[in-house]
Chains A and B, each alone.
Chain A
Amino acid sequence: MALIETNNLVKVYVEGGVETRALDGASLTINDGEFLAITGASGSGKSTLLQMLGCLDRQTSGEYLFEGKEVSSYSDTELAHIRNEKLGFVFQAFNLLPRLSVLDNVMLPLVYAGVSKKERVQRSEAMIELVGLADRRNYQAAQLSGGQKQRVAIARALVNNPKIIFADEPTGNLDSKSGAVVLEFLQMLNDQGRTLVVVTHELYVAEAARRTVHIVDGRIDSDKAVAHRRIIAKDGFVK
């Protein structure tokens, strides 16, 4: 069974009486352990597709099966639990709570999962160490650099041990050096068996993945394996 399967997924936004078909019949299958890059020009609908897949919004029509079950049949609360337990997110704008410490930011998903305080701290500290920020754990998020913030965001996405991590332009706000570190992390996670879906409009990010799906006008234009995969740790990162 595929982890994710969509059939003819449509998302229509209505704003000021004007309809925008952000997704116009996208059909896609994602299996466990994949590293998928969704590419496309800005406005092509790639971010909308990620939001649909990440259960952050509901489709207008079409099917979205997550672990074989139609997502639109879940209630808002059930979707919140799915996001909490099975999905992790990394955003372009990091989306940390600036006044909270690094540790508190990473612990947030565990708070909503009802994990005990002791275990929260333990698991969060392990993740912070993994992304190499152990010495910054009590810093306020606002005090960190962009690259550090995104590593905190990755730690936060990992802390609830999700089935799949969605990243929306994770290197978009970073310089090439920080971007390389982030991408290297993502590749490492995938090598450990984690499923990753990354949205990007940049070729070098897509080349770090194993498979790319190219979106044009809300439809899937091409879906193919990456021929010459760039291993960041070995090849470095060329922007």
Chain B
Amino acid sequence: MLGIVIGILSIMVVMSLGQGAQELVLGEFQKFGPNNVFILPGRQPSGPSSVAGTLLSDSLTQKDLADLENPANVPEAVGVVPIVFGQQPIVYASQTYTKMIMGSSQDMAQLFSLTMSEGRFFDSSDVADHASVAVLGATIAKDLFGGNNPVGQKIRINNQMMQVVGVLQAQGAGSFIDFDQATIAPYPVVQDSILGIKYFQRIVVEGASSAGLPALMKDVTSLLRYNHNISDPSKDDFSLQTQASIAQSVGIVTSILTVLLASIAAISLVVGGVGIMNIMLVSVTERTREIGLRKSLGATSGNILLQFLAEAAALTILGGLAGVAGGIGLSWCISFAVNYWWGIQFPFVISISGIILGVGVSSALGLIFGIFPAWQASRKSPIEALRYE
């Protein structure tokens, strides 16, 4: 009984946590928005090592941004958000933290669904005026200012004085971009006074609908090729990513996760199965004398088989129910604990395939290893079974 419960429970927990982790990872990609096209400078990265190369490429210019914003060039675009970023020392009073500084436009808050806990996000006039204002992530704000309100205070980023105008609400760990640790400012001041660069590291073009996405990507591609004087598509100095293509490019991560989980589930299935097998075999061996006695009192082989079938069925059904209940409970506890201690919004998933697999395999094993030895024992003559030790 315990073997069946533990077998099903372990399979269910592993499968539930696995599905939860997958949802968590895939959920991060959902945050990119289904209609957004990310323009990356440099060649299409062919692997993790060449992603670094795209950060150093300087092919996305101010002119590209201006042309993308022109509705005549890209009619499907409803928004264009440039992004620059880098690690920089951020100083307030005597404290220094080296964290991510991001430069963007006022539309970034809406693009990444950022909400404010204090003050405001910077606006279009801040961008146009080259204003030295900054919005702090929840964690960096707490690190620098403790419990005090940072709004209106001045911080220094790479020797550029910036006025804090707002603080973001905590996003939770596990996000693709850790906004809690980031400082966000209008891109002109970040480009000129902090990072000292003229180009963009990302430009996000927001489409009106996912149906218009192919046309939008085509317009963006031809515009950038025209601007960069590229006639051979294989020499493109930029690449486009969508939620779908990002999900695809990190697909290897999720498939590794899937394979890992499947093997863990398989192992727990084997462990649980061996447990069930042993329990059933031991109980039938122990009860061979009982089988002998029952036969000597007039039980037929069919009576004996029916009895063991009923017992094995009752055992696997009860064990299955307990295992499923325990598995759901334990999965919930784990996702709750992950939320509580690590602040990761780990989804609680009841894995239907885990239930089917766990209950199915355990019941099959329980029945097979409950009935097969009983069938063997029932074929012995009563006296042989009675003498069995």
A160 contacts B298, CB within 8 Å?
yes
- Residues on the B chain within 8 Å of A21, using CB: none
**A80 on the B face (CB < 8 A):** yes
**B211 on the A face (CB < 8 A):** no
**A58 on the B face (CB < 8 A):** yes
- Residues on the A chain within 8 Å of B159, using CB: none
> A80-B295, A113-B298, A156-B297 are contacts. A57–B382 as well, Cβ < 8 Å?
yes
**B384 on the A face (CB < 8 A):** yes
> A95-B293, A97-B290, A97-B293 are contacts. A57–B298 as well, Cβ < 8 Å?
no
A77 contacts B383, CB within 8 Å?
no
Interface residues in B297-323 (C-beta closer than 8 Å to A): 297-303
> A56-B382, A77-B302 are contacts. A112–B290 as well, Cβ < 8 Å?
no
Query: How far does the alpha carbon of A76 sit from the alpha carbon of B301 in the complex, in Å?
Result: 8
- Residues on the B chain within 8 Å of A80, using CB: 295, 298-301, 303
Stretch of A64-72, A83-91, A194-202, A203-211 that contacts chain B: A83-91
Query: How far does the alpha carbon of A194 sit from the alpha carbon of B180 in the complex, in Å?
Result: 93
B300 contacts A76, CB within 8 Å?
yes
Closest 9 pairs (CB-CB, A-B): A84-B298, A56-B383, A112-B298, A80-B300, A56-B382, A109-B297, A57-B381, A57-B383, A77-B300
Nearest CB on A from B297, distance (A): 5
Give the contacting residue for B296; candidates A76, A83, A160; CB below 8 A.
A83
Q: A56-B381, A109-B297 are in contact. List 11 more A-B contacts (CB 8 A).
A: A56-B386, A77-B302, A80-B295, A80-B298, A80-B300, A83-B295, A83-B382, A84-B298, A89-B297, A112-B294, A113-B298
Q: Which residue of A lies closest to B385 (CB)?
A: A56
Query: How far does the alpha carbon of A51 sit from the alpha carbon of B296 in the complex, in Å?
Result: 10
Nearest CB on B from A35, distance (A): 21
- Residues on the A chain within 8 Å of B383, using CB: 51, 56-57
**A30 on the B face (CB < 8 A):** no
Give the contacting residue for B298; candidates A51, A83, A95, A97; CB below 8 A.
A83
Interface residues in B237-253 (C-beta closer than 8 Å to A): none
- Residues on the B chain within 8 Å of A156, using CB: 297
Number of interface residues of B (CB under 8 A): 18
Q: Which residue of B lies closest to A98 (CB)?
A: B290
Interface residues in B248-305 (C-beta closer than 8 Å to A): 289-290, 293-303
Query: How far does the alpha carbon of A80 sit from the alpha carbon of B303 in the complex, in Å?
Result: 10
Nearest CB on B from A213, distance (A): 20
B290 contacts A89, CB within 8 Å?
no
- Residues on the A chain within 8 Å of B384, using CB: 57
> SS class of chain B's interface: helix, strand, loop or mixed?
helix
Query: How far does the alpha carbon of A10 sit from the alpha carbon of B295 in the complex, in Å?
Result: 23
Number of interface residues of A (CB under 8 A): 22
Query: How far does the alpha carbon of A109 sit from the alpha carbon of B297 in the complex, in Å?
Result: 5
**A229 on the B face (CB < 8 A):** no
Nearest CB on A from B290, distance (A): 6
Nearest CB on B from A50, distance (A): 10
Sample of 15 A–B contacts (CB below 8 Å): A56-B381, A56-B382, A56-B383, A57-B381, A77-B300, A80-B298, A80-B301, A81-B300, A84-B297, A85-B298, A95-B386, A97-B293, A108-B297, A112-B303, A113-B298
Nearest CB on A from B66, distance (A): 87
Nearest CB on B from A34, distance (A): 22
Q: Which residue of A lies closest to B295 (CB)?
A: A80
A56 contacts B296, CB within 8 Å?
yes
Write the residues of chain A forming the contact surface with B, with a CB cutoff of 8 angstroms: 51, 54, 56-58, 76-77, 80-81, 83-85, 89, 91, 95, 97, 108-109, 112-113, 156, 160
Query: How far does the alpha carbon of A156 sit from the alpha carbon of B295 in the complex, in Å?
Result: 14
Number of A-B contacts (CB under 8 A): 56
Nearest CB on B from A113, distance (A): 7
Give the contacting residue for A112; candidates B289, B297, B382, B386; CB below 8 A.
B297
- Residues on the B chain within 8 Å of A85, using CB: 298
Nearest CB on A from B304, distance (A): 10
- Residues on the B chain within 8 Å of A113, using CB: 298
> A77-B302, A95-B386, A97-B290 are contacts. A83–B381 as well, Cβ < 8 Å?
no
- Residue with the highest number of chain A CB atoms closer than 10 Å, among B289, B298, B302, B303: B298
- Residues on the B chain within 8 Å of A109, using CB: 297-298
Query: How far does the alpha carbon of A113 sit from the alpha carbon of B300 in the complex, in Å?
Result: 10
Nearest CB on B from A104, distance (A): 12
Q: Which residue of B lies closest to A48 (CB)?
A: B383
Q: Which residue of A lies closest to B297 (CB)?
A: A109
- Residues on the A chain within 8 Å of B297, using CB: 83-84, 89, 108-109, 112, 156
Query: How far does the alpha carbon of A112 sit from the alpha carbon of B306 in the complex, in Å?
Result: 12
Query: How far does the alpha carbon of A191 sit from the alpha carbon of B41 in the complex, in Å?
Result: 110
Query: How far does the alpha carbon of A169 sit from the alpha carbon of B178 in the complex, in Å?
Result: 84
Nearest CB on B from A29, distance (A): 23
Q: Which residue of A lies closest to B381 (CB)?
A: A57
- Residues on the A chain within 8 Å of B382, using CB: 56-57, 83
Query: How far does the alpha carbon of A225 sit from the alpha carbon of B327 in the complex, in Å?
Result: 72
- Residues on the A chain within 8 Å of B303, using CB: 80, 112
Query: How far does the alpha carbon of A95 sit from the alpha carbon of B287 in the complex, in Å?
Result: 12
- Residues on the B chain within 8 Å of A91, using CB: 386
Query: How far does the alpha carbon of A76 sit from the alpha carbon of B173 in the complex, in Å?
Result: 70
Query: How far does the alpha carbon of A54 sit from the alpha carbon of B298 in the complex, in Å?
Result: 11
Query: How far does the alpha carbon of A123 sit from the alpha carbon of B294 in the complex, in Å?
Result: 19
- Residues on the A chain within 8 Å of B386, using CB: 56, 91, 95
> A95-B293, A95-B386, A108-B294 are contacts. A58–B301 as well, Cβ < 8 Å?
no
